[in-house]
């Protein structure tokens, strides 16, 4: 592997000799390596080398074209701040094909361990980071970006896929999920409301991140302030509510995404408030009133959408998500349904918190 890394780094014109490297066990999609190069004068610099998963990303060059445009815009909007920097080959490309493998390289940013994603300071700062990301890109035309995963957050299409999987019943599991299906079908109209508002022209398309987890923000090692948003593979046109709602789905859950005991699953309103304050501090004046009014509903929509995706995969025989045991996708779907149900119960309070924060930062 060391020789392969040296070959890839040479293609990106990295000076010096490879003095250290390790594979980082982060994420479930790409292969990631941390490499350090030492020059003759003793100067050391560390980089991240990634092999992109071309099964998930069928058009990796489009992914990198999106990243090139977005990072260039962010550097112009955030001068003097930490920004992701992807290196280029002699031909001016920010990627390398090596046989069937697709590689990229970017600067390593030292950061704090964000493993405790229930830390209120980290949650608020993560909200501020994703808000800053949205705000900095508010003037960028999303039509310039490729839709690298078509219909990624099209909840209507996700329901259509579920209904098709139910009809086909490939894994002969339909009889096991009647209760889950009944609830999801009852929730369909509410879950698809963002799609309806986009179709009617009431919500604008924006540049969205589409994977707004706390661990996709790097934090300062001393004071936990957010440095930069990472993992830009799914950056494409979308709704602001997609990013907000998916973040809340992840960060406010009092249990793991695959918690078997759904009695432990709920939406933590204090963490909801922390993220909302950070997010709206940087975006309240950039978003429309209608967009902000949908943020509570977006949390419900995104959570239901993910439940639908897990249940679809379960009916299809677990072909998409990695599973640790046969019922894993069903357990995941049930946990997401429980979270969505708790959000329904708390929706009035969630909307009130959003309105409070928006009023505060619009003033």
**pLDDT at residue 327, as a whole number:** 97
**pLDDT at residue 28, as a whole number:** 66
What is the share, in percent, of the chain residues with pLDDT greater than 70? 98
CATH assignment, 120-362: 3.90.1200.10
Q: Where are the domains of the chain?
A: 2-107, 120-362
**Confidence category of residue 117, pLDDT binned at 50, 70, 90:** low
Distance between CA atoms of 272 and 342, rounded to whole angstroms? 13
**pLDDT at residue 282, as a whole number:** 87
Give helix 347-362 / helix 328-345 axis angle, nearest 10°.
Answer: 70
Distance between CA atoms of 274 and 269, rounded to whole angstroms? 9
For the segment 143-166, the average pLDDT, to the nearest whole number, is 95
Please, what is the average pLDDT of the chain?
95
Yes or no: say if 184 and 310 are a contact pair by the CB < 8 Å rule.
Answer: no
**pLDDT at residue 302, as a whole number:** 98
Q: What is 2-107's CATH superfamily?
A: Phosphorylase Kinase; domain 1 (3.30.200.20)
Q: What's the chain's length in residues? A: 363
The model carries a pTM of 0.92
Q: Does residue 56 register a pLDDT over 90? A: no
Distance between CA atoms of 136 and 38, rounded to whole angstroms? 35
**Confidence category of residue 118, pLDDT binned at 50, 70, 90:** confident
Q: Does residue 113 register a pLDDT over 90? A: no
Which token pair is 193? 């409301």
DSSP string, 147-170: -SSTTTT-HHHHHHHHHHHHHH-T
Give helix 328-345 / helix 295-316 axis angle, nearest 10°.
Answer: 160
- Virtual CA dihedral for 287, 189, 274, 252, nearest 10 degrees? -150
Higher pLDDT, 55 or 226: 226
């Amino acid at each position: 592997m060391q020789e392969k890394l040296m070959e890839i780094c040479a293609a990106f014109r990295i000076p010096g000799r490879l003095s250290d490297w390790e594979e980082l066990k982060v994420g479930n999609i790409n292969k990631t390596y941390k490499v350090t190069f030492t020059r003759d004068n003793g100067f050391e610099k560390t980089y991240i080398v990634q092999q992109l998963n071309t099964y998930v990303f069928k058009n990796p060059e489009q992914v990198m074209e999106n990243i090139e445009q977005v990072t260039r815009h962010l550097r112009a909007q955030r001068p003097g701040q930490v920004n992701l920097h992807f290196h280029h080959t002699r031909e001016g490309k920010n990627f390398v094909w090596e046989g069937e493998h697709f590689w990229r390289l970017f600067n390593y940013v030292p950061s704090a361990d964000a493993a405790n994603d229930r830390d209120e300071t980290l949650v608020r700062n993560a909200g501020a980071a994703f808000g800053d990301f949205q705000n900095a890109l508010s003037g960028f035309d999303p039509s310039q970006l490729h839709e690298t995963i078509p219909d990624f957050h099209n909840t209507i299409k996700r329901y259509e896929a579920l209904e098709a999987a139910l009809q086909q019943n490939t894994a002969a599991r339909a009889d096991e999920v009647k209760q889950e299906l009944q609830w999801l079908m009852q929730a369909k109209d509410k879950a698809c409301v963002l799609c309806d508002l986009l179709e009617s022209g009431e919500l604008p398309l924006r540049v969205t991140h589409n994977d707004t987890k706390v661990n996709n923000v790097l934090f300062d090692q001393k004071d936990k302030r957010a440095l930069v948003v990472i993992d830009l593979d799914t950056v494409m046109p979308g709704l602001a509510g997609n990013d907000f709602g998916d973040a809340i789905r992840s960060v406010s859950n009092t249990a793991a995404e695959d918690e078997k005991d759904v009695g432990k699953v709920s939406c933590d309103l204090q963490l909801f408030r922390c993220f909302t304050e950070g997010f709206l501090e940087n975006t309240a004046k950039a978003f429309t009133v209608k967009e902000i009014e949908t943020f509570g509903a977006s949390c419900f929509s995104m959570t239901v959408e993910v439940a639908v995706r897990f249940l679809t995969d379960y009916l299809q025989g677990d072909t998409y998500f990695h599973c640790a045991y046969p019922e894993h996708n069903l357990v995941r779907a049930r946990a997401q349904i429980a979270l969505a149900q708790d959000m329904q119960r708390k929706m009035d309070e969630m909307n009130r918190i959003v309105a409070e924060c928006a009023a505060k930062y619009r003033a």
